[in-house]
Amino acid sequence: MTGKLEGKVAFVTGASSGIGEATAIALAAEGAKVAIAARRSDRLDSLAERIATNGGQALPLVTDVTDETQVNNAVEKAIAQLGGLDIVVNNAGIAVLGNIDTGNPSEWRRSFEVNVFGVLYVTRATVPFLKQQQSGHIVNISSVAGRTARAGVGVYNATKWGVNAFSEALRQEVHKDNIRVTIIEPGLVDTEINDLISDPIAKQRSEERRKAITPLQSEDIAAAILYAVTQPPRVNVNEILIRPTGQDI
Ligand code: NDP
């Protein structure tokens, strides 16, 4: 297999479904060896098989990104078994939606653990290697919700705003080490993310929003990620905001 990412190694979190899965497939199709991390091992195994059938190589790593030790072990295994690390896609995320007065604090904490601490742990585990290598690319999946606040979305807004702020600070810290940082901000994408929304009103609202338009597909976001990571070394694509054409805010 020859492609634009031949010889590169990528580490993708949240690769068991949706955007992460599509991204792993897209990176592998361009020749990258891909470490695929998430909690559902059956999904990871079947994805690794599909990638192998298409001539690629994927390493399933069962990992909960909220557990720092699991993250460190997964990154270590990826580097050892795939022979390096070049691209990190911090994609794992959950959407906790609903108004503040009916919200559940343990769900708020969980969303910060996955959406923010997960990104921090993976970044902490990978940046020293990339610095030593003097090259690398970190892609953080934020959201339109990282730029535009909406009633009923405040907690998710806060986590994704955090991802954006952290990513820009990170870019300033690591650009001298030839490490690129990209924020991807999708609008509505047709994935499983809504399935876990526990607040019935928020879930209904979100489903109605989705039904009213033609949402993006995970492959659309994977294509944006692929664009960012296949630019010449001098090009640091810092931010890509992608809405479905029919989405208002
Ligand atoms: P999915 O629900 O399809 O995918 C979420 C992924 O995150 C799954 O692979 C899941 O794997 C993983 N994940 C969740 N919790 C953890 C955890 N603790 N440790 C490791 N992995 C975890 O949703 P999407 O593909 O839509 O979401 C991907 C990213 O895109 C998220 O960051 C989301 O916020 C963002 N996004 C999504 C939008 C949309 O409309 N769909 C819009 C804007 C941004 P597993 O359960 O196996 O651990």
Neighbours of 114 (CB within 10 A): 20
Residue 1 confidence (pLDDT): 52
Summarised one tens digit per residue, pLDDT across range 116-141 is: 999 999 999 999 999 999 999 999 99
Would you state the torsion angle of the CA atoms of residues 43, 49, 54, 58, taken in this order, to the nearest 10 degrees? Answer: 80
Neighbours of 105 (CB within 10 A): 8
Domain annotation for the chain: domains and CATH numbers? 9-242 (3.40.50.720)
Position in ligand 1 atom list of the atom nearest CA 114 = 18
Summarised one tens digit per residue, pLDDT across range 33-91 is: 999 999 999 999 999 999 999 999 999 999 999 999 999 999 999 999 999 999 999 99
Among 42, 65, 90, 193, the mutation site with the greatest number of ligand 1 atoms within 8 A of its Cβ is 193
User: Residue 228 and residue 176: Cα distance in Å, rounded?
Assistant: 18
User: Whose alpha carbon is nearest atom 17 of ligand 1?
Assistant: 64
Q: What integer best gives the mean pLDDT of the chain? A: 97
Residue 238 confidence (pLDDT): 98
CA of 90 to the centre of ligand 1 (A): 10
Summarised one tens digit per residue, pLDDT across range 146-191 is: 999 999 999 999 999 999 999 999 999 999 999 999 999 999 999 9
